Amino acid sequence: MSFMDLGLSPVLCTTVAKLGYGVPTPIQTQAIPVILQGRDIMAGSQTGTGKTAAFALPMIERLCLSGGPEARRHGAPGKPRALVLVPTRELAMQVQESFRDYGRQLGLLSTTIFGGVGIQPQIQALRRGLDVVVATPGRLLDHMQQRTIDLSRIEILVLDEADRMLDMGFIPSIRRILQSLPKDRHTLLFSATFMPEIKSLAAQFMKDPVQIQVAALNTVIATIAHRVHPVSADRKRELVVHLLNKDRAQTLIFCRTKHGSDRLCRHLSADGFQVEAIHGNKSQSARTRSLQDFKSGRTRILVATDIAARGLDIEQLPMVINFDLPSVPQDYIHRIGRTGRAGSDGQAVSLVSREEQSLLRDIQNLLDHQIEVVPVEGFDAPPAQAQVFTRKFRPQRSSFRRRA
């Protein structure tokens, strides 16, 4: 199966070949033909499976190539033709970068709208005729209230990471945005999981959607190797240094809090590591710079809160370390989805103290399998203790699992 077989035009197939894309991923194989037909879709796909290309490529085909060159047109000033809603600034930048790369040869015009930066440059960008706007819900509502954007000509709507937008409380804002969109539109919804609230929302604003599920719910990419290192809370920083010295690969480390991220970043920097931190207290320019440094390889280690779990796309990122386990089990999937992408091998390492036993149990119940517990020599857990640790975390069917 090739991208040409999916129905994409030669110019787009040439573009993706130049970008290094070979065989389409399963989500691309299933979603692209359906989107080209103009059908609404509800697509379940984990991160790292080529999801952005699965909706961006057929959208570009329809916006730029449908009807032939003579039919090519841009949106009127302030009136884009397509809208992509995403939960975070980082994901907005990542998605817009993909549209820019895929649509460069076709003159596709796109921009991002998100908070944390000045609104005036966004207003100026909207005054140009745009094809695609990638936006976070809150800042989009600001533009709608200031009448700097008109959504009456939207032809295609995408809700990306719908489950994350639900978690972040964006559903009321999304409902307000939907009321301003034309009823005669093409709607695409992508989500790692489909909770009842998302299904209810889809039933209200989608037309007979085709449902696509390329992996079982709450599963993770098969190329990721998971392991748990039992360690006392007061020795986690020591263990991180040990692991980073042992494996020199580029690493993304997740902490639960902003202050914890900063503390770990300072500690690692004092030990001579190239490290930066990214979280909600950082300015947008600082966050953007840190992400660019990490993506380019200038920074070896990035310490982050969950704000980065959905918006960071690094090719062949070898390792993710959970310094703290996430409070919400689904966030484990989103965190480790930064590694093992596009068929590459990845490692997901979790440093787990006894105080985090219940969090690990919830994660294992969600995944429905036990993560290997591997004691590190010299750190808290000799083999006998590791065996007790493993038995204690044996997965059980829980009320959380039934709700997922």
Q: What is the mean pLDDT of the chain?
A: 84
CB burial readout 56-72, b (16+ within 10 A) else e: bbbbbbbbbbeeeeeee
SS3 157: strand
State pLDDT tens for residues 146-190. 999 999 999 999 999 898 888 788 989 999 999 999 999 999 999
Whether the per-residue pLDDT at 404 is higher than 50: the answer is no
Domain residue ranges of the chain, discontinuous segments joined by +: 10-213, 224-403
Cβ contacts of 382 within 8 Å, gap of 6 or more: 375
Name every residue whose Cβ is closer than 8 Å to that of residue 278 and which is 6 or more positions away in sequence.
Answer: 261, 286, 287, 290, 291, 302, 303, 304, 305, 307, 308
Specify the 3-state DSSP secondary structure of 334: helix
Burial of 18 (0-12, 13-18, 19+ CB in 10 A): exposed
Candidate ranges 289-293, 306-310, 342-346, 394-398; pick with highest mean pLDDT: 289-293
Asked whether the beta carbons of 245 and 237 are under 8 A apart, the reply is no
Residue 48 has pLDDT above 60, yes or no: yes
Element (H, E) at 210: strand 210-213
More confident residue, 333 or 227: 227
Which whole number is the average pLDDT over 45-52?
Answer: 76
pTM of the entire predicted model: 0.67
For the residues 258-268, what does the mean pLDDT come to?
A: 93
CATH architecture of the domain covering 224-403: 3-Layer(aba) Sandwich (3.40)
pLDDT value of residue 397:
41
Q: Please indicate whether the domains covering 10-213 and 224-403 agree at the CATH topology level.
A: yes
pLDDT for res 282: 80
What is the rounded average pLDDT of the residues 247-276? 92
Higher per-residue confidence, 73 vs 175: 175
Kindly tell me if the per-residue pLDDT of 196 is higher than 90.
no
Confidence of residue 379 (pLDDT cuts 50, 70, 90): low
Comparing C-alpha atoms, which of 262, 295, 296 is closest to residue 279?
Answer: 262
224 pLDDT above the threshold of 70 = yes
3-state helix vs strand vs coil in the chain, percent to 5: 45, 15, 40
Report the CATH superfamily, name and number, of domain 10-213: P-loop containing nucleotide triphosphate hydrolases (3.40.50.300)
